[in-house]
Amino acid sequence: MNDLHMSASAAEAYMDDLAREDDLLIRIKEKIHDAKMPDVSVAPGYGKMLTLLVTLTGAKRILEIGALGGYSAICMARGMAEGGTVTSLELRPDYAEVAKKHLEEAGFGEQTRYMIGPAVDSLEQLKAAGEKFDFFFIDADKLNYLNYLELAIDMANPGAVIVADNLLLRGRTLNFERNGPAIQIVREFNRRMADDPRLLGTLLPAYDGLAIAMVKNT
């Protein structure tokens, strides 16, 4: 078998063809593109994984860091337990408004709330209010990934799951000749997700990299 057939991109294309998006998610992506928002929604295969993980964990309270156009929130909301809620943190009010419309279109408008502004500030507010969550999805500015992780652990219910996207930074994480601040922070984040004693975690290399960890009962 030649290198093309064995390449990561070929494998991802093959998996994407099997894990096809439904009409709603395709339409959401088209609307995100039409709004000239970044084309950085979670990959279709990982979107299905979010639905699967939320379903398997029985998560009822979900916290999303980085709303963008609402694609990942829809994937998670589809798996949450009856009566569940999604709290979505987004820096930009215009992005949050787009996400809100898409969650309403998907039938989850009443179960989703948005907090606008720097995510660390919103997380500190939630922590001060004593809020706890069963599932976290981190997909926002990389310079704060370590802060997001620590605050997520602080607000985790026993056995909560933390998932984070874009761990390879489109290959920059693997290029050890590059050592910018965001790259170094993501490398340390990856190390902690894999071997922090408070977590049981693993890293997946497909697409742009995904981390999954369960917060251990202490």
Asked if residues 48 and 72 have their Cβ atoms less than 8 Å apart, the reply is no
Burial 64-89 (b: 16+ CB within 10 A, else e): bbbbbbbbbbbbbbbbbeeebbbbbb
Show pLDDT as tens, one digit a residue, over the chain (218 residues).
445 445 777 888 888 788 788 999 999 999 999 999 998 888 888 999 999 999 999 999 999 999 999 999 999 999 999 999 999 999 999 999 999 999 999 999 999 999 999 999 999 999 999 999 999 999 999 999 999 999 999 999 999 999 999 999 989 999 999 999 999 999 999 999 999 999 999 999 988 999 999 999 85
pLDDT of residue 39: 85
Instruction: State residue 1's pLDDT score.
Output: 41
Contact 169, 182 (CB under 8 A): yes
pTM, full prediction:
0.93
Q: Say which residues have a Cβ less than 8 Å from residue 57's Cβ, sequence separation at least 6.
A: 134, 135, 159, 160, 161
Query: Cβ distance 88 to 113 under 8 Å?
Result: yes
CA nearest neighbour of 104 among 122, 88, 127, 128 = 88
Cβ neighbours of 90 (radius 10 Å): 25
Question: Which of 187, 139, 129 has its CA nearest to residue 162?
Answer: 139
Which CATH architecture best describes the domain 3-160? Answer: 3-Layer(aba) Sandwich (3.40)
User: Of 91, 54, 92, 94, whose CA–CA distance to 73 is shortest?
Assistant: 54
Task: Evaluate whether 147 touches 124 at the Cβ level (below 8 Å).
Answer: no
Q: What is the pLDDT of residue 218?
A: 59
Residue 138 and residue 120 in contact, taking contact as beta carbons nearer than 8 Å: no
